[in-house]
Amino acid sequence: MSGINIKNLKDFIGKEVQVNGWVYNIRSIGKIWFVIVRDGTGYVQCVVSKNDVSEDIFSLENTLTQESSLKIKGTVQADDRSDSGVEILVTDIDVVHVSEEYPIALKEHGVSFLMDNRHLWLRSKKQFAIMKVRQNIIKSIRDFFDNRDFVLIDSPMFTGNAVEGTTTLFETDYFNRSAYLTQSGQLYQEAGAMAFGKTYCFGPCFRAEKSKTRKHLTEFWMVEPEMAFCDLKENMDLIEEFITYIVTESLKNCKDELKILERDVSFLEKVKSPFPRITYDEAAKILNDNGQKFEYGSDFGAPDEELIASQYDSPVMIHSWPHKTKAFYMKRDESDKLALGVDVIAPEGYGEIVGGGQREDDHDTLVKRIENHGLPLSAFKWYLDLRKYGSVPHSGFGLGLERTVSWICGIDHVRQTIPFPRTMGRLEP
């Protein structure tokens, strides 16, 4: 008999089933013992009664250990006290493997120990819940763009040029020339947008930032849409719609997971359109009015972002930045002083989750920008071609998946939001 997923057991009340999974916990009260089984879709309590099984099966209480693998047969019955809504009255147990002493016992462990055992830590309830929320957000991202006629255009992982800055590149030898792990797929999406109108990529990015903050990873996932015939305002409208969609889908599809994580969803329920939109100058005024030390013309640090976000219930969109704070490809306003960029700051202190803006569409202007930034024109020849053959106003943005998962889940550190995090000090497991 094939196994039934635990998440589907409510459909089998009164029927005999087989569940394939692993032991999460065992407890006993005399002639009855209970084993909590997980299978990757959920958890269920299985009741082993001395009167209902053979002596050999009943004695397995003394053999089975945490994470032992098994196949359990029994009858499903309703149990309103259980998180799964059911329990299984066991008739038979087939032990597949008796686990050695599991290093992650059901007690508190230090973060370093847990990260060293990340391959095992993924099996815990909270990590299970985080990964399920991550999966739902990924699906929401793809559904949002696929349902709006965006074309998926995969950007390369190896590039010959920088996007954000040369100091945060991972360099590698590429057949006797230098290549870099991509910081962003944006430049290639601009090419895609000129071909298809609306495109997006969704994949890993790499930044060699020597940062040990709770918001940084050296390898992370980002979704990057790009739209032709699109200005900054239209871009901001799409960002707002996009973030609202992700939050709505998370609240709808991840109730159980957010409960496991003890997430106060009332904060997420406040995320409604329209989002507050303020200029860089207005954001700077908030900081100054609240006594925050801040140098005008610099980028906002984590304390700055937290203070600004604390003024609002929804994500706040900060636009019209001093051009020195933004990348070379960002279009400027008529004064040539402000970059037509936008950052979106999540509430509750989770910081920037979106960066984007309108791109420079004039060929000669872009050439000057590249030269002023000390970048090699030869590496950007193909990128400049986009301004020679049918250039149009275009815009886009990037949303960091891990920061978004962190915010939705209410997790303090992004290292828990990706299956196997990569940081300055961690390359294993």
Map out the domains of the chain as residue ranges.
Answer: 6-97, 118-416
238 band by pLDDT with thresholds 50, 70 and 90: very high
Taking all residues of the chain, what is their mean pLDDT, rounded to a whole number?
Answer: 94
Contact (Cβ atoms closer than 8 angstroms) between residue 228 and residue 189: no
376 band by pLDDT with thresholds 50, 70 and 90: confident
Token pair belonging to 195: 């071909």
pLDDT of residue 250: 98
Contact (Cβ atoms closer than 8 angstroms) between residue 246 and residue 314: no
What class has domain 6-97? mainly beta
The mean per-residue pLDDT over the stretch 92-107 comes to 92
> DSSP letter at 359?
B
pLDDT of residue 92: 97
The mean per-residue pLDDT over the stretch 306-323 comes to 96
pLDDT of residue 163: 66
> DSSP letter at 150?
P
Q: How far apart are CA 133 and CA 124, in angstroms?
A: 14
Q: Is 50 exposed, middle or buried (0-12, 13-18, 19+ CB in 10 A)?
A: middle
- C-alpha dist (Å) from residue 18 to 3, 69, 219: 5, 13, 40
Whether 362 has a pLDDT exceeding 70, the answer reads: yes
Contacts of 293 (CB under 8 A, 6+ apart): none
Closest CA to 184 of 340, 415, 404, 397: 397
pTM equals 0.93
Q: What share of the chain has pLDDT > 70, as a percent?
A: 98
In single-letter form, the type of residue at position 306 comes to E
For residue 107, the tally of other CB atoms under 10 A from its CB is: 5
pLDDT in tens, 252-297: 999 999 999 999 999 999 999 999 999 999 999 999 999 998 899 9
pLDDT in tens, 143-190: 999 999 999 999 999 998 766 656 688 999 999 998 999 999 999 999
> DSSP letter at 3?
P
In single-letter form, the type of residue at position 390 comes to G
pLDDT of residue 385: 97
Q: How far apart are CA 344 and CA 302, in angstroms?
A: 13
Hey, do 6-97 and 118-416 end up sharing a CATH topology, with the first three levels equal?
no
pLDDT of residue 215: 85
In single-letter form, the type of residue at position 130 comes to I
Q: What share of the chain has pLDDT > 90, as a percent?
A: 88
HSE-CB for 183 with a 13 A CA cutoff: 17
Q: How far apart are CA 199 and CA 191, in angstroms?
A: 9
- C-alpha dist (Å) from residue 156 to 139, 188, 199, 205: 22, 8, 15, 10
pLDDT of residue 213: 82
The mean per-residue pLDDT over the stretch 303-319 comes to 96
pLDDT of residue 1: 52
In single-letter form, the type of residue at position 284 comes to A
- Classify strands 219-228 and 198-206 as parallel, antiparallel or unpaired: antiparallel
Whether 406 has a pLDDT exceeding 80, the answer reads: yes
Residue that is written with structure tokens 């420079």 in the block: 360
- C-alpha dist (Å) from residue 333 to 32, 94, 327, 383: 74, 70, 14, 22
For the chain, what's the residue count? 429
Closest CA to 206 of 220, 225, 222: 220
The mean per-residue pLDDT over the stretch 19-26 comes to 96
The mean per-residue pLDDT over the stretch 116-123 comes to 96
Residue that is written with structure tokens 């991202």 in the block: 141
The dotted CATH code for 118-416 is 3.30.930.10
Q: How far apart are CA 43 and CA 6, in angstroms?
A: 7
